[in-house]
Structure 1
């Protein structure tokens, strides 16, 4: 079995958990572990891993479809940063939460160690998540990964004035958003930026996207849920030459004449989670639903 290990940073308090995992892999000769190059150097800075001797990967093409798993150590941001490595390979992600919120990285460190046999014996749930795909004539797709698991966001750049975004759904004009920006979110991303801007929560099994304006000036401008079979076309009008575009954790500037076409990606990202871990349980725990804040 080949597995990939990815992280962006690691604190001393999490080293014992990672050390137990490395020990498990070393003792199990049927598992070959490959570590992302930058993360390998981070781990090597700790005395526990001074003699770390595993192969590394430094390009997404090195993660071939014969990998069985990718383990990420961090939070949801770490998982989002791992998506450009995974792409359309179908390699499932095991998110070990060493961060804070953990909507995607649902396995906490203790549970991960307890469930490690079940993880490698494929006894946990594999859940698919849809992505957004961005098309635009000027973008070099070889340099910019044009897929997003959470959301694509268009927002103003280098000015305090609002921008105007003309939105079309399947080539039919929808409306002009006069706002700071616009979020196009997947069900996975509906608990992120979109939620903080008043968007609805959409369970991951729904086949929808949501358009959520950011600080709209028009009072009637509200989030809109659409089918993920539909294609969104956006035109941006701005007083300055550029506007900002973010896709999960990646940010670029685009000329205001650049039009955007957004649709559902032709592949899914897969997550491995506990069987007893449900989306509604996650909502209750992470958003503190039903909790009396006075106590």
Structure 2
């Protein structure tokens, strides 16, 4: 197998990276490490290994798998290399929660064994994309988000007003710090922190969650994932922020934002020993009550 490995940081990930390389070498895999990460660990941290390693700047369809080392944020950055190539992704979790990065450090070798034996399933995850009028150059590339697209205030402590239309029909104007449009995958991220619902990855839905709304009757809303969402921002400042997962751009208040489902999906590898429900129960400590 031709396998790509991506990480953002080496500190704290040393043992996981070494264990992963060792497990892949036993399978005689062709290993490619993202160039910037490889340069960091070899030149600055003097990392050495007997495993043959090549590097990559971009991926193509010849790759069989992308493995990220880090937390869920690392996976969100890793998908920018995959885009619409349909390369499956799995993550080694060295972060905190790990809803997306599900391989634990002590199970790296067994996870690699399961992957090579075909003991896994593919979970296809929907993405969001955005259009702006007028067009914004910062959003013409990597115009997709696996977790969420969020609108938020910029350079001000004042609220913004987000006028919201669904499929051309006026919904409401949120007085808030911002607004989150989340996929099922992102429902356990920023949206959850703002009181949004948890959505099963298989559900064909998106969630609209206001950030600290001042109109107190505003509540998170579940909508079909084929809905087209149009947003218009007003506020005391002339500009606001839009974020696509971890990527941020600045837009003028005159900009109209249209959010809809992307025309491709991300393939996440899900081991049979792990499931969304199992992860949910563990990470959110559901059932951790003496009465149970």
What is the aligned partner in structure 1 of residue 82 from structure 2? 86
Aligned mates of 2:76, 2:172 — CA distance in 1: 30
1:185 aligns to what?
Answer: 182
Structure 1's unaligned 5+ residue stretches are: none
Q: Deviations over 1:219-264 (max 9, x none)?
A: 1111111000110011111211110111111111111111111111
Match of residue 101 from structure 2: 105
Instruction: Determine the C-alpha separation between the residues in 2 that align with 1:218 and 1:20.
Output: 51
CA distance in 2, matches of 1:176, 1:20: 51
1:3 matched to 2:3? The reply is yes
RMSD: 1.9
Does the Cα contact within 8 Å between 2:31 and 2:52 map onto a contact in 1?
A: no
Provide TM-score, normalisation by structure 2.
0.93
Q: Secondary structure at the match of 1:115?
A: helix
TM-superposition CA deviations, 1:99-126 (whole Å, max 9, x none) = 1110000111111222212213332121
Mapped contact 1:17–1:113 kept (Cα < 8 A): no
Give the TM-score normalised by structure 1: 0.92
| Partner in structure 2 of residue 243 of structure 1 | 240
Checking the alignment, whether the CA contact within 8 Å between 2:16 and 2:69 is kept in structure 1 is no
Report what 1:286 is aligned to.
283
Q: Is the 8 A contact 2:21 2:51 kept in 1?
A: no
Q: Where does residue 131 of structure 1 map in the other structure?
A: 127
- Structure 1 residues 153-190: Cα deviation after superposition (integer angstroms, max 9, x where no partner): 10111111111111111111111111111000001111
For this pair of structures, how many residues does the alignment match? Answer: 289
User: Which secondary structure does the structure 1 equivalent of 2:64 belong to?
Assistant: strand
| Aligned pairs (5 A) from 1:11-90 | 11=11, 14-29=13-28, 31-44=29-42, 45-49=44-48, 54-58=53-57, 62-90=58-86
Give the whole-Å Cα distance in 1 for the aligned partners of 2:181 and 2:208: 5
Cα 1:24–1:290 change in 2 (3 A) is closer
- After superposition, what is the alpha-carbon deviation per residue over 1:27-62, rounded to whole angstroms, capped at 9, x for unaligned? 444x2111111110222144442777522222xxx3
| Alignment gaps of 5+ in structure 2 | none
User: Which SS does the other structure have where 1:133 is aligned?
Assistant: strand
4+ residue runs over 6 A deviation: none
C-alpha change, 1:222 and 1:111, in structure 2 (3 Å) is same
Distance 2:196 2:48 in 1: 44
Q: Answer whether contact 1:5 1:36 (CA < 8 A) is retained.
A: yes
